[in-house]
Structure 1
Amino acid sequence: MLPDQNLVPPHLQAVQQRRIERITKSINAVKERLTTEINYWENQAEKLKLEERAGKPNTRLNYDNARRRVDELKGRLFKRLEELEQERHLSPKPPMVVGGTLIVPGGLLQRLLGNPQVNTVINTREKERVEKLAIEAVMAVERKQGFESRDVSANRCGYDIESRIPDTGELHFIVVKGRVRGASTVTITKNQIITALNKPNDFILALVEVPESTQLSNNNCTVRYIYRRFPRHSGFAVTSMNFGWQQLWNLGKEM
């Protein structure tokens, strides 16, 4: 079946149904209004005719005017009903394309333009996978040190990992930022900034560099920790802050 055979019939049916409803209302309204006027002038003509037979003067002229008015109204009624009946009939034409939209993925466009940062652009699924690998890599570092750590990233409490030192019971609150190698920026949220400011001695910013590969594993991730070094919060209206990845990376201690 051709495209117009799929598109035209449903559209025609919808338009025709709306038009028939409108035309039916118009026909009823026209009939009611003009028929009322016709009946009025026919009654007037009959009265004038009776007055003329009774010998009342000047009635002939008024009678003729009344009859002309009746004929005029009947003509208007016939013409208007004929026009409305013609409007019932629709003749569909094949659809015409009047415009189009070309959707180009942003990553492809940037790559075609030669943007050097295209290699750092990853889709949502890849981003989630990188973040998961980053948390797993940090958990492995904590376990290697003998600490008891658990993933609390789903709680959105201002940090991603809560790590406990068994001997002292001391807790470390770790924010994990995983990026594919070559990333330019990293974003720290308001909750994470507040956690860093409220717990400066227990807060750790863990940076995880993940290789750009289809076979990602936490075994080949590089982890660096930043201890007790964090810029002051810029104000309560700030929802997040962006930092240069390489600058933070240079501040970190490799684990």
Structure 2
Amino acid sequence: MAGLDELKRGATVKGILPDGFITVVDVSWIGSVAIELTYKDSKGKPANELIYRDRESDLEIVESGKPWSFDGDSDLFRLVSEAHRIRLAYLFDPLLAVHTSLVDPLPPIVIGGALIVPAGLLMRLNGGQTATLQAKETKRVEMVAMRAAVAAEQKLDNAFPGKLSAGA
């Protein structure tokens, strides 16, 4: 609680405006029961208001400081900055979904009695795996399977309409 006589030029006061602080520009006394207060709101817009002693209980002089400080919650800052980093990561890493997904490499496939083990699975079992190699291996397995299917169909004298290719 602040009295009307405590309002001086440059003071920051809470309670004049319902949504924020004001900075006192000038105070003119009108008798002993009221003042004419000239102030600027938080956006810098000047205003003028008559304040009576019955509003003293609403007024509070606040300590004005810098508009920024370093005394915030560091854990919350770290969490928010990591969220922003993840939100913007796709701009710098076009394979972000592949790097962060939990997709396993293809399992071994039996084609025409032969066991085809994808190179990506072998590399993963041996301790190394990259998303690029996994994508290349998926394409290779699709091509091997397609060639085997085409060869089997040709043995049966089935005709194929045009050229075939694996994936897009």
Q: Place the TM-score, normalised by the shorter chain, in its bin.
A: under 0.3
Relative to total residues, which structure has the larger strand share, 1 or 2?
A: 2
Relative to total residues, which structure has the larger helix share, 1 or 2?
A: 1
| TM-score, length of structure 2 as denominator length | 0.22
| TM-score, length of structure 1 as denominator length | 0.16
